[in-house]
A = this chain, B = another copy of it.
Amino acid sequence: MDQLKQKILTEGRVKDANILIVDSFLNHQLDIPLMDAMGREFAKYFNARGVNKILTIEASGIAVAAFTARYFEAPVLFARKTPTLTAIEDKYTAEVYSFTKQVSNRVFVSRRYLTPEDNVLVIDDFLAHGQALLGLAEIVRQAGATLVGAGIVIEKGFQKGGGLVREAGIDLLSLARIKSMEPGRVEFF
């Protein structure tokens, strides 16, 4: 997606060869017309596949998931990381290790909102090691729901996540796939 790649080239900042900071439009500040355009791209690709639920994980995936959901006229369901007093007793869970945050989170989704009748599109902001996406796929499996595919904003194509996800037979659309990066330079596939 050219608009996204341009945005990464002009506003992204690479730190330490492995970290891409895109907090001007995706991870901290949100560029709303871009979120909407990305939602439209996902909808175009996964169109006519009966998607009735968008699944993401808090927090950076929520906005793009919400704009994707508009095109499918479907609700968003976001997996939660933190236990609260309002936490749901009856839930699906998966263990997700975040290499960026260097912590392991048990994420959960209420059984109320994911059932065998659901056709689920997973949306997330980044794909690197694939842990979050595979965790969400595991939750879809636990629910007996159908995983239609996964839409990713930025795939770090030089890390192993994309391969793991494709080997698992998940139909994956990444809007920008980075081949290599270093401070001052980002190259796409």
Contact of A75 with B113 at beta-carbon distance under 8 Å, contacts A62-B59, A84-B100 already known: no
Q: How far is the CB of A167 from chain B (nearest CB, A)?
A: 27
Report the bound CA distance from A27 to B85 in whole Å.
Answer: 12
Q: How many residues of A contact B (CB 8 A)?
A: 43
What 1/0 flags go to A106-126 for Cβ under 8 Å of B? 000110110000000000000
| A66 CB-CB contact with B under 8 Å | yes
Do residues B67 and A28 form an inter-chain contact, with CB atoms below 8 A? no
Report the bound CA distance from A43 to B146 in whole Å.
Answer: 38
Do residues B112 and A76 form an inter-chain contact, with CB atoms below 8 A? no
Residues of A within 8 A of B (CB): 15, 19-21, 23-25, 27-32, 35-36, 58-59, 62-63, 66-67, 69-70, 73-78, 80, 82-86, 88, 100-102, 109-110, 112-113
